[in-house]
Amino acid sequence: MKNIRKIFGVFLVFITVLLLPLQSFAKLKNIEGNGVFHQDKIPVGKTGKIMSVTFYVETGSDYGDAWAGIAYDDGDDEDDVEFPFELTSETTDRKHVGKITKGKKKNITISARVRRDIPEGYYGIPVYLADDKDSGRGIQEYINVYIQKSSATESSNESEAVKDVDFTIGEGQATPRGRYPDVLNFSLNMANTGKLTAFDVTAHMVMDKDSTVFPFEINDANYDRHFDKIESGGMVSLDYSFAIQKNTYTGYYPIKLEINYRDSSEGELKKAEEQFFVHIDNKDKDETTTAAGEFNPNDRTKARIVVDSYRT
């Protein structure tokens, strides 16, 4: 009888170990068949912390002025308990998306604070499109997030808060790569992950004549990119085209951006600094010219011995 109990106990432990990883996938939604909302990767957040959820819209029809939101009240009471975000205005308010063109991608970023009381694992988030800020919901589909448990140290530092205006550059994008002598064309996503709309936004690229610092030729008179406003959760594209300098070396180069903005239409001008990296493929730093020049008999900086004859 004791042996049977031991075997049964071991069997229960074995089943529990098998089920633990399956539980983390229990709320993962299959989005393969989505027709509107898509993800290149699943964003990761931590309990009690603010996370940014980036996805994109690609529809079969045009929208003149679209809005997007999280369907936080979707489903029955049991499903609502598993909604991973705290219900604040940042979570429940619709985000302005703007014009959507049929067949073209439009990025959306939503910021929300993760609940502290949920288990680690994947969660499906219902999101939807709407024709304006207050009308009924249109197309609704799921996207996915993965939530990790914060450590005790992280949980004790609860000073984090959503900033009024906060910018992220190139989130979820690959590093722009160029090869000399080709022209490098690239676009960077700039998102406002703050809770307020940013007005009068100018992204100024910081340049340098030193090719070890800035690898591009400075051809245009102005590389500033200006936007009248960027909504909370909104995203714009910074488009650039650069010729690569001949004397650059292979490697990664940090490119700095100074972003000037106002947090209200009549507010004072404020500044934020961000940076991104580009990779240049050209010559290695240890490449040197080793070919000898022609002999100059009057050049005394290089000694040479000329032997007319030799006898032993």
List, for residues 228-243, the tens digit of each pLDDT value. 999 888 889 999 999 9
Q: How far, in whole angstroms, is CA 260 from its chain's centroid?
A: 20
Q: How far apart are CA 122 and CA 154, in angstroms?
A: 20
Tell me how crowded residue 17 is: count the other CB atoms within 10 A of its CB.
Answer: 9
Q: So what's the pLDDT on residue 227?
A: 95
52 has a pLDDT exceeding 60: yes
Considering the chain, tell me which residue range(s) the CATH 2.60.40.10 domain(s) occupy. Answer: 27-156, 167-281
Decide the pairing of beta strands 270-281 and 177-179: parallel
CB 275 within 8 A of CB 217: no
Check the CA dihedral 33-38-44-48 and report its sign. Answer: negative
Q: How far apart are CA 121 and CA 165, in angstroms?
A: 30
147 has a pLDDT exceeding 60: yes
Comparing 294 with 37, the larger pLDDT belongs to 37
Q: How many residues does the chain have?
A: 312
Q: What's the predicted TM-score (pTM) here?
A: 0.47
CATH class held by domain 167-281: mainly beta
Query: In whole numbers, what is the pLDDT of the chain averaged over residues?
Result: 78
CB 162 within 8 A of CB 50: yes
Comparing 2 with 148, the larger pLDDT belongs to 148
Check the CA dihedral 122-128-129-131 and report its sign. Answer: negative
Q: So what's the pLDDT on residue 12?
A: 46
Q: So what's the pLDDT on residue 245?
A: 92
From the options 2.60.40.10, 3.40.50.2000, 1.10.3720.10, 2.70.98.40, give the CATH code of 27-156: 2.60.40.10
CB 193 within 8 A of CB 168: yes
- Alpha helices by DSSP H, listed for 84-238, are 89-92, 152-156
203 has a pLDDT exceeding 70: yes
| Weakest mean pLDDT among 10-14, 51-55, 96-100, 161-165 | 10-14
